[in-house]
């Protein structure tokens, strides 16, 4: 995709310049950090079907498959670094242009890029939660336990998939053993909202509180295909808060946006920061 024309970025800057802005971000801002997305325009393969919450809690085999794939996918997720888009949003926050960021991403790259006011709508892959006792464990610690439990397990190289997953053939699961909660031997799940699972109500309330102080909503890198994100765009529009969308591809909210432009966020957001008076 060609970069947006300078006047398109100027129009975005004019909309946001004198307005307190909240950001809603999606996977598209992290693709430039090497993390695959679900629906981006660069995907040529069939859409990835993530595990659902119901599959995970009901099937021991599904959990074994998930953790084997996660064992392979976590190092790439863990090694991802924030890009110019993340850093530009952090600069805009420090300059007082952005009130905070609601992210649909689970990779922690906004915080790594310097943003402080971040609500992780779908949780974080950096934590694991016991579904029985509620204990939280760092994902790095779980990785060490998984490796120790499976010292002889080896799998062929696997293609990276979204959200720290990896494409692993069924026969490669042979011999893999997941681990349980170190405190109560309960079921472990990444501290993220799976498909088929609801975003916790207190988290939604925090998002609505943040949006309540916004004079503009800037959507970056999200197709808004998931209802949990689209509802905030609809709420902003209903409240008379102007919406701007920057995404490399169509979104479900395009008809609600006052300003809409395409282009890679690692190019657009630094230019926006420059026009708003803070260099990223």
CA distance 120 to 204: 10
Q: How many helices (H) and strands (E) does the chain have?
A: 9, 11
- Check pLDDT > 60 for residue 218: yes
- Half-sphere exposure at residue 186, Cβ-oriented, CA atoms within 13 angstroms: 15
Mean pLDDT of the chain: 90
CA distance 256 to 143: 42
- Check pLDDT > 70 for residue 259: yes
Q: At what angle do helices 265-275 and 6-16 cross, to 10 degrees?
A: 60
| pLDDT for the residue 190 | 97
Q: What mean pLDDT is predicted for residues 263-270?
A: 96
Domain ranges of the chain: 1-35+82-122+199-280, 45-79+125-192
Q: Does domain 45-79+125-192 have CATH number 3.90.830?
A: no
Task: For 34-90, write each residue's pLDDT tens digit.
Answer: 998 755 555 444 445 678 999 999 999 999 999 999 998 899 999 999 999 999 999
User: And the tokens for 110?
Assistant: 């906004």
Which residues are designated catalytic?
122
| pLDDT for the residue 262 | 94
- Check pLDDT > 60 for residue 2: no
User: And the tokens for 178?
Assistant: 């997941």
Instruction: Tell me which architecture the domain covering 1-35+82-122+199-280 has in CATH.
Output: 3-Layer(aba) Sandwich (3.40)
* pTM listed for this prediction: 0.90
Q: At what angle do helices 201-212 and 227-238 cross, to 10 degrees?
A: 30
Helix (H), strand (E) at residue 159: strand 159-161
Q: What is the DSSP letter of 19?
A: S
pLDDT band at 165 (very low <50, low <70, confident <90, very high): low
| pLDDT for the residue 153 | 80
CA distance 60 to 133: 19
Alpha helices in the chain (DSSP H): 6-16, 53-58, 60-79, 84-94, 109-112, 139-149, 201-212, 227-238, 265-275
């Amino acid at each position: 995709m060609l970069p947006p024309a300078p006047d398109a970025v100027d129009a975005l800057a004019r909309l946001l310049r004198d307005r307190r802005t909240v950001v809603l971000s999606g996977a598209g801002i992290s693709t430039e950090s090497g993390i695959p997305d679900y629906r981006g325009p660069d995907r040529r393969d069939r859409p990835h079907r993530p595990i659902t919450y119901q599959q995970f809690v009901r099937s021991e085999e599904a959990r074994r498959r998930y953790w084997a794939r996660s064992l392979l996918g976590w190092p790439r997720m863990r090694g991802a670094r924030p890009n110019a888009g993340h850093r530009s949003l952090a600069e805009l926050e420090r300059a007082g242009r952005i009130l905070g960021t609601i992210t649909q991403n689970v990779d922690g790259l906004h915080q790594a890029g310097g943003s402080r006011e971040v609500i992780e709508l779908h949780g974080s892959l950096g934590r694991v939660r016991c579904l029985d006792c509620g204990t939280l464990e760092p994902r790095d610690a779980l990785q060490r336990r998984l490796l120790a439990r499976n010292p002889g397990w080896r799998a062929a190289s696997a293609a990276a998939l979204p959200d720290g997953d990896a494409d692993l053939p069924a026969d490669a699961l042979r011999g893999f053993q997941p681990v349980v909660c170190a405190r109560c031997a309960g079921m472990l799940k990444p501290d993220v909202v799976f498909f088929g699972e609801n975003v916790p109500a207190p988290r939604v309330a925090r998002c609505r509180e943040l949006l309540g102080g916004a004079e503009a909503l800037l959507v970056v890198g999200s197709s808004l295909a998931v209802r949990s994100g689209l509802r905030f765009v609809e709420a902003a529009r209903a409240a008379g808060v102007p919406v701007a969308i920057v995404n490399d591809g169509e979104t479900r909210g395009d008809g609600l946006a006052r300003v809409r432009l395409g282009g890679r966020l690692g190019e657009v957001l630094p230019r926006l920061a420059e026009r708003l008076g803070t260099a990223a």
